[in-house]
Structure 1
Amino acid sequence: MFTGIVEELGEVTRVEPRDAAMRLALRGPVVTKDAKHGDSIAVNGVCLTVVDVVGDEFTVDVVGETVKRTSLDGVEPGRLVNLERAMAADGRFSGHIVQGHVDGTGTFLSRDSDGLTRFAYPPRLSRYVVEKGSITVDGVSLTVAEVSADEFAVALIPTTLRATTLGRNQPGDAVNLEVDVLAKYVEKLAAVHLPPAAVENGRGEEDR
């Protein structure tokens, strides 16, 4: 489990295609301090398993399903990524519950001079996104400032813009999105108490 508090900006140093999958090598002096084979590290919000650590670099395998469903598709050497180690049991819980399981990709739209940043997102996720609720964008825990059926906005402080990839996004860039897992569990538990039509109306075509 993660909390969406990015520890450092890492860099993709090598990409090895492997059929539909790939192996990535990434540089991250902070996350490699105590990383070992089998540990989990979130890379732009995607939970990946460490294969090996050499110096300040670590390697991970990205399966075809992950390549297809996340913004890691088409990643190239030199790309900067947000890195976070899995939360220690005695760690400080500073963000929100983040699994590193991407629910879909969104698109960076714009950012104004006050840091209000807008993203387009799949309408099928809209029922999980609420004003003042939590959402994860490329592994960063954020609070929703505004939301509509196909867009949401977050207010980014200068520290977040400087310390994560979100300050470097250009219009059209794809981002990984993870909605609040608590909302999905609530929906699942409540579904058995709702009329079938009500449950069906909450689903988009992509959910079927």
Structure 2
Amino acid sequence: MKKTAKVPVEKAAKALLVKHACPVPFHEVRTRFLGNIATPEMSVSPLQVIKGLWGGELPVVDSMDELNNLLEVLVQGLWNELTQHQKRSQPFRLTRMSMAATAANLGRYARVRREELDGFVEGLFHGEDAIDLPERAHEAVGHLGQLRAMMAGICDLVARDPQADDRTKLETTFKHVRELSRIMETEINAVVLSCTRARRQMLEGTPTARPTIH
């Protein structure tokens, strides 16, 4: 019997999100899932999170097999794959983007990073206005808020001057955004590891200091 090649999880997830007209872009789905995995809120349900991608209801499908495939790819595939980033040896990486230094690309780059940060924080808070976080996670979320504001600022600048053609300045700004992306990854991983450690200690009955963040 001829064996069929297994489609990589991310490729399969992207295709299904497009097929079912998911309003949340894939890069933001990844970080939202990661935030949900990291959140101290113990009531997180992957099924409810997936419903949230479509505004609270699963997308309309033609058959039960199609629904099962959607859930298998997003839960057994993507969600479970992202849980591996709770290990220090397997840090999370933001979406890789390689593009020429143009104003339009700079705007897209900053928008993707902003949406990734929005997704992570939304997942982390899991619909709550305030949550208790370990000290390092609390600090990292503050840094992510500042980085998010920087990305939004770049988007605004490009929107005001979409024809900017000073290549030297554009290349310098691209370099800065790439550097900021590495800082984003560091802070996201700090949140994930800090919350994972705190959750493990809580389950083991060890108290941890956890400030409330709004």
- Sort the TM-score into its range (normalised by shorter chain): under 0.3
Q: Normalising by structure 2, what TM-score?
A: 0.27
Q: Normalising by structure 1, what TM-score?
A: 0.28
Higher relative contact order, chain-length normalized (CA < 8 Å, sep 6+): 2
Q: Which has the higher helix share?
A: 2
Q: Which has the higher strand share?
A: 1
